[in-house]
Amino acid sequence: MIVVTYPNHHRWKPFVTFLLVSLLLSTAPLASQDQAAPQASAGAPNLVDLARSAKTIYITGAEGWVGIPTEPLEKKLFEYTEFQKGEPLIQRKAEGAGILIELARKPGTWDFTYSMIHRRTGSVFGSGKVIAWDGVRAGPGLAKQIIKRLRELRGAPAAEQKKKR
């Protein structure tokens, strides 16, 4: 049993109660999660194998002034050798894509974020953020981060530069 005494100012009572309840609730499931984690990770494929086996990419992003259109990123990705060769291939339908790239923009900020996810397993390959005025200006920075991460996972030479058209 936990007994909490409050100072004379009762305005702290709800805040302290919230903190204590949050702390108690957040620590209770940790023991069961820690025990289950080794069992789940033992049979999970590693990210390198998943990245090498993924042959297609689907890019999704919210349109409009809050979101980010996919076209600027696609355009910048096609400036890199891998995408010019079709390794991986960008497709317009989510079904059957190996990698899902989710684009987002935090409302009221200039933060453009991405997450690369293996569609079948839900494993996250990487994520990042670019600060830019709009989606068109965010495209080059996002493409650079995505290419860097894909090359790390697939074992491609990092020194390989953009191919000029």
pLDDT tens column, 17-60: 554 555 444 544 443 333 433 444 555 678 889 998 999 999 99
The pLDDT score that the predictor gives to residue 27 is 45
Q: Does the pLDDT of residue 158 top 70, yes or no?
A: no
Question: What confidence score (pLDDT) does residue 56 get?
Answer: 95
Structure confidence at residue 135 as a pLDDT band (50, 70, 90): confident
pLDDT of residue 160 exceeding 80, the answer is: no
Say how far apart CA 12 and CA 21 lie, in whole Å.
Answer: 14
Check residues 103 and 68 and name the one with the higher pLDDT: 103
pLDDT class of 12 with cuts at 50, 70, 90: low
Q: At 91, give phi and psi (nearest 5°).
A: -120, 160
Whether pTM > 0.75 for this model: the answer is: no
Main-chain phi, psi angles of 88, to 5 degrees: -90, 165
Pair 142, 104: CB distance under 8 Å = no
How many whole angstroms from its chain centre is CA 51? 14
Rounded CA-CA distance 136/37 in Å is 40
